[in-house]
Structure 1
Amino acid sequence: MRPRIRAARTDDLAELVALDAACFGSAAWSEVAWADEFDRLSEDRVVLVADEGAIAGYVVLLVPPVVLDVVEVLRIAVAPAERRTGVGGQLLTVALDRCTGRTVLLEVAAGNEAAIGLYQGFGFVEISRRSGYYAGGEDAVIMRWREES
């Protein structure tokens, strides 16, 4: 069964905090940081979840006013048990559909080959690196997507 992609609701908060911790460990966002994301939903944040009864994944977008041409993927994660099932692709498809005519940027750990492969499959290209950005000295790869005209 394919999960339903929907906008996050405030009652998803605890589940998102737990999923984030399972995916990012010590680099996970705190409950306060997640609550801040929900407080800003009406301003410039979009949080989408893949819902299969339990949240299988999520994506957080920073979507400034249309005058600014760039959208940022702030966070994307898929529950460990749901990886390689298409959930990440579904989330990216819906997220990119919201970004028509805009450039989308994201950063990913250089060693996260699965994520980099997913992003490249959607047309993201590496545009820069931040040397030693992550804990342990791992580089961050900055990637860009621009819808084909």
Structure 2
Amino acid sequence: MRPGIRPAKSADLDALVALDKVCFGDSAWSAESWAAEFARLGTDRVMLVADEGMQVGYVVLLMPPAPEDPVDLLRIAVSPADRRTGIGGQLMTAALQRCTGRTVLLEVAAGNEGAGALYRGYGFEEISRRRGYYAGGEDAVIMQWQEKA
């Protein structure tokens, strides 16, 4: 069964906090950070949820109101049990559909090969690195997507 991709709603908060903890462990956003993200929905945040009767993935975008400003893909995650099933691709497709005509930026840990492959598959290209950005000295790879004409 393919999950539905839908806008997040306030009732998703607790489930997304828990899912983020499963996906990111010590790097998970705090419940307070998630609440702040939810408070910004409808302003400069877009949050989509992959839902199969329970939340199995999500994507969070920072979309400045000025169309010339780049969109930041802040977070994308799929529960470990649901990875490699196409859910990440569904979330990415739905997110990029909302970014028509805009540049999208993201950062990913250099060692996160699965995420890097997903992003490259959607046309993201490395534009720079932040050396030693993550705990343990791992580089952050900055990637950019621009809609192809």
- TM-score with structure 1 length normalisation? 0.98
One-letter amino acid of the structure 2 residue matched with residue 146 of structure 1: Q
Task: Write the letter of the residue equivalent to 1:90.
Answer: Q
Q: Give the equivalent residue in structure 2 for 1:119.
A: 119
SS of 2:101's equivalent in the other structure is coil
CA distance in 2, matches of 1:106, 1:90: 17
Where do residues 13-52 of structure 1 align in structure 2 (5 Å cutoff)?
Answer: 13-52=13-52
Amino acid across the alignment from 2:5: I
Code of the aligned partner of 1:81: A
Q: Which amino acid aligns with 1:66?
A: A
The answer for the alignment partner of 2:140 in structure 1 is 140
Which letter maps to 1:23? Answer: C
Query: Following the alignment from structure 2 to structure 1, what is the Cα–Cα distance between the partners of residues 59 and 143?
Result: 16
* CA–CA distance in structure 2, aligned partners of residues 25 and 37 of structure 1: 19
> What 5-or-longer segments of structure 1 have no aligned partner?
none
- Mapped partners of 1:79, 1:33: distance in 2: 19
Rounded Cα–Cα distance in structure 2 between residues aligned with 1:89 and 1:100: 17
CA distance in 1, matches of 2:42, 2:7: 12
Partner-residue secondary structure (3-state), 1:34: helix
> Secondary structure at the residue paired with 1:43?
coil
The answer as to 2:107 corresponding to 1:107 is: yes
Deviation at 1:67, TM superposition (A): 3.7
Conservation of the 8 A alpha-carbon contact between 2:71 and 2:99: yes
Equivalent residue number for residue 59 of structure 2:
59
Please name the residue that 1:8 is paired with. 8
Pairwise CA distance, 1:25: 0.6
**Which runs of 5 or more structure 2 residues have no equivalent in the other structure?**
none
| Deviation of the 1:142 alpha carbon | 0.4
Identity fraction in percent: 69
Q: Which residue of 1 aligns with 2:91?
A: 91
How far off is 1:69 after superposition?
3.0
Cα distance between partner residues in 2 of 1:45 and 1:28: 18
- Post-superposition Cα deviations, 1:102-134, rounded to whole Å, max 9, x if no partner, equal 000000000000000000000000000000101
Task: Output the CA distance in 2 between the equivalents of 1:66 and 1:49.
Answer: 25
